[in-house]
Amino acid sequence: MYNSVCFIILSWVFAVLVFPGVPARSGDSVLKDNITVRQGDSAVLKCNVDSKVSRVAWLNRTTILFAGNEKWSLDPRVVLMENTAVTEYSIKIQNVDVHDEGPYVCSILTNKKPKSTKVHLIVQVPARITNISRDVTVNEGSSASLMCLAVGRPEANIIWKHHSPRGTHKFVTEGEYLELRGITKEQSGSYECIASNDISNPDVRTVQITVNYPPFISKARGTGTSVGQRGVLQCEASAVPRADFEWYKEDRRLFNGLNGVKIENQGKQSMLVFFNVSEEDYGNYTCVAMNTMGITNASIILYGPGAMHDVNGAAVLHRCSVCLALTVTSFYLLKF
Ligand SMILES: *[C@@H]1O[C@H](CO)[C@@H](O)[C@H](O)[C@H]1NC(C)=O
Ligand SMILES: *[C@@H]1O[C@H](CO)[C@@H](O)[C@H](O)[C@H]1NC(C)=O
Ligand SMILES: *[C@@H]1O[C@H](CO)[C@@H](O)[C@H](O)[C@H]1NC(C)=O
Ligand SMILES: *[C@@H]1O[C@H](CO)[C@@H](O)[C@H](O)[C@H]1NC(C)=O
Ligand SMILES: *[C@@H]1O[C@H](CO)[C@@H](O)[C@H](O)[C@H]1NC(C)=O
Ligand SMILES: *[C@@H]1O[C@H](CO)[C@@H](O)[C@H](O)[C@H]1NC(C)=O
């Protein structure tokens, strides 16, 4: 603070005593093109002089950086360019930062006539994400809000893209905040925040949204099995978190390793395996799938050989148990 006040006073002294009339003679001031540099790079500010020039100086706004070869600035990043042509009086600002942006003036005194060249330094900063939400887990139907903050000059443009678990990939919205209300399981997956401002490659980071939902049984299948053979009932449930399974015959719960059955759980699938099917094993089984979000079940019939394999070719849910009952009944009617 003291330094800048001191410099402003000095530069005023300089301007008044050394270059009387510098600020007033706008007619002799030339605005050169803006100089654009990236943050961290060096900026070279050029000023042309000739042999008639008696005094020269570089100013940052009203503060003198260099007066002739004498450095007034205390900033070590500011250096006078040497080895340049005799007709050039240039300075270099190393490791440019955003607060260096602004007008710089080269003041020249030729034959007691002041002249100045103004350059405007523009500092660019590549878009960079500074803070992004953590991965979240929400229940189906509730809301999720994601945040992605970025810096950049010019200001970073932020967009969100969604990569669903099925592999689809689409634009969602623009802006720092992404608000999802009444979230569905299809909206789970990774969300990509892309910050860009054309200064360099976009900065990309992702957040994962996990959507919890109750199980739904997508496959419930039994096979026709003869007495004395191995029989398998299959049940498959989609759920987040992953479903736990229980198997029942009528009201009786079945346990792994008891009554000649084995329960094999593999990911979203559960299998009830009969080591050696007997006549009493035929009948109505229920697969129950549950997680923290809910519970559901499906009926599966273990039937004898020659029966149709699959009702409707796919899932047999408890909602469809009536049609299943009819099919099974008709099967037995035909048989006997
Ligand atoms: C230089 O930059 C200033 C400030 O950003 C702007 O107003 C001006 O139009 C620019 N001039 C040129 C020649 O680009
Ligand atoms: C130019 O002046 C600004 C404002 O006082 C200051 O923040 C910046 O560090 C200065 N830059 C140089 C290179 O002198
Ligand atoms: C990111 O933003 C969150 C929420 O505003 C804040 O609690 C956290 O401290 C921020 N993290 C960083 C590294 O700035
Ligand atoms: C299956 O059970 C029947 C009747 O209990 C028995 O006779 C037969 O040997 C068993 N088969 C196998 C492969 O264990
Ligand atoms: C299966 O679901 C139905 C309907 O929700 C329910 O009434 C029944 O008790 C369930 N059965 C079992 C074994 O959980
Ligand atoms: C199987 O059991 C379920 C539930 O106990 C019942 O709703 C269904 O009607 C039964 N199906 C058959 C074919 O008996």
List, for residues 54-93, the tens digit of each pLDDT value. 899 999 999 999 999 999 999 999 999 987 777 899 999 9
| Assessment of whether the complete model's pTM goes beyond 0.75 | no
Q: What is the mean pLDDT of residues 315-331?
A: 39
CATH of the domain at 259: 2.60.40.10
Ligand 1 centroid distance, CA of 32 (Å): 10
Average pLDDT rounded to a whole number, residues 157-177: 92
Please give the distance, rounded to the nearest whole angstrom, from the Cα atom of residue 178 to the centre of ligand 6. 46
Say if ligand 6 is within 6 A of residue 196 CB. no
Q: Does residue 308 form part of some domain?
A: no
- Of 78, 96, 124, which one is at a domain's C-terminal end? 124
Tell me whether residue 176 is in a domain. yes
Residue 247 included in any domain: yes
Q: Which atom of ligand 5 is nearest to the CA of 248?
A: 13
Q: What residues line ligand 2, using a CB cutoff of 6 Å?
A: 60-61, 65, 73, 75, 78, 93, 99-100
Can you give the residue range of the structural domain that contains 233?
A: 222-303
* Dist. CA 63 → ligand 1 center (Å): 21
Domain-terminating residue out of 74, 92, 124:
124
Instruction: Tell me, yes or no, whether 120 and 174 share the same domain.
Output: no
pLDDT at 19 over 80: no
Is 246 found in the same domain as 166?
no
Same domain for 120 and 141, yes or no, is no
Report the number of distinct structural domains present in the chain: 3
Whether the pLDDT of residue 159 is over 70: the answer is: yes
Domain membership flag for residue 259: yes
Phi, psi dihedral angles at 330 (to 5 degrees): -65, -35
Residue 164 has pLDDT above 60, yes or no: yes
pLDDT tens digits, residue range 201-252? 999 999 999 999 999 999 999 988 999 999 999 999 999 999 999 999 988 9
Tokens of 228: 């004395």
